[in-house]
Amino acid sequence: MGKKNFGKRYPDELRACTVRMVLDRESEYRSRSAAISSVSQKVRYSRDSLRIWIRQHETDSGLRGGMITAEQDRIKKPERENRQLRQANEILKKASALFCSGGARPPVSEMIAFIQEHRGQHGVEPMCRVLQIAPSTFYEHQDIARDPSLASDRAKRDDELRPEVLRVWQENSSVYGARKLWHAMKQEQFDIARCTVERLMRDIGIEGVRRGKKVKTTYGQPAEVCPLDKVNRQFRALIPKQLWVSGFTFVSTWRGFVYVAFVVDTFANRIVGWKASTSQETQFLLDALEQALHARRPAENLIHHSDLGAQYVSVKYTERLVDAGLEPSVGSVGDSYDNALTETMIGLSKTEIINRLGPWKSKDQVEWETLKWVDWFNTKRIFEPLRYITPQEAENAYYEGLKTDDIAA
């Protein structure tokens, strides 16, 4: 444990007053030493301290040679500042290792724990000054740690909500930001404000996933009439099994590229078919389509929209669409906006799985995590366009509405 610095033991006013009492009563004693002894017993200061103060007073008054107090302070000030800077650097060096993942301002609980651990070496107030936290905050936390009943009502409720916020966030693949997490907690009947969710997320140190900067890989061509485009960028179907969109992406693994295809029902953004493959030949897209056909068994006049990729306009894929009674639709060449909904779904998969859980070792790993994500996506992930319900809930509500209409009729 380092030497503690308590500052000046005696204030300047008390020192000056004591010196004045000795000098004013010096003539009443046989010597200055006797006067010092008498006064020191009354004020309970040591005789050596009084003797040093009187000597310095005479130096400051010009009655004795030596360095005056102002000159001593001028010399000591840089030394004191350097000492404080060294201490601050040492505190920051230790704190940087602990708070490296805490963002611009680490959670208060972490700073309190750090101060408590190092208070014997650096002291509470110097560390509070460096970490920009009020000493009263530290002492308040110490009092609450000794007696939890002293905590405020909000602090007590925060302690109850904090593990629930973390649980709901983790149960939703750890991808929700404050807005979606707030709606998810409301669905679980928690009476909580959005600002409270944001604050508790900061306290816990969690946040939603963010999409990285997009790399532009598609460059538009001059507009041309494309009779095969039956969607015209209107991607929201009015009923299920009215419009499907398809597309695929690639994932880099240690063993090469893995290609993942999706078929999405645009009524509620539900993924109705998907497939992972190490080859981008047409067959793996057909497998995703077959899964969608088997699961949904669509009626005629369902539109299947995709881009103008070679696999989607191949004879084999087009014939399967015709056999299943689906109407093929494709966007224009080199224009990602004509298949924007598929690009959005692929972007979500990249953000919520690929970029967050990588690097990837093999196709099996990508396939397993995609399987779990698709199940969560369809049954638990809430969407703002759906008024913060899941794709499955949106479809169930639609079919329940049909039953009600039939009964009313």
Structure confidence at residue 98 as a pLDDT band (50, 70, 90)? low
Above pLDDT 70, what percent of the chain?
85
CA–CA separation, 262 and 289 (whole Å): 8
What is residue 52's three-state secondary structure?
helix
Segment 90-112 mean pLDDT: 69
Residue of 341, 346, 331 whose CA lies nearest to 236: 341
Looking at 173-294, which runs of residues are DSSP E strands?
243-253, 256-265, 270-277
State the number of CA atoms in the 13 A half-sphere of 190 facing the CB.
22
CA–CA separation, 282 and 315 (whole Å): 10
Higher pLDDT, 79 or 284: 284
Q: How many CB atoms lie within 10 A of CB 329?
A: 21
Instruction: Identify which of 31-35, 162-166, 201-205 has the greatest average pLDDT.
Output: 162-166
CA–CA separation, 370 and 272 (whole Å): 13
In this prediction the pTM is 0.59
Residue 94, classified by CB atoms within 10 Å of its CB into exposed (0-12), middle (13-18) or buried (19+), is middle
Q: pLDDT tens across 347-405, in order?
A: 899 999 999 898 999 999 999 999 999 999 999 999 888 889 999 999 999 998 887 76
Segment 81-91 mean pLDDT: 74
Higher pLDDT, 118 or 196: 196
CA–CA separation, 39 and 53 (whole Å): 13
Distant-in-sequence, close-in-space partners of 87: CB < 8 Å, separation ≥ 6: 122, 126
CA–CA separation, 324 and 76 (whole Å): 90
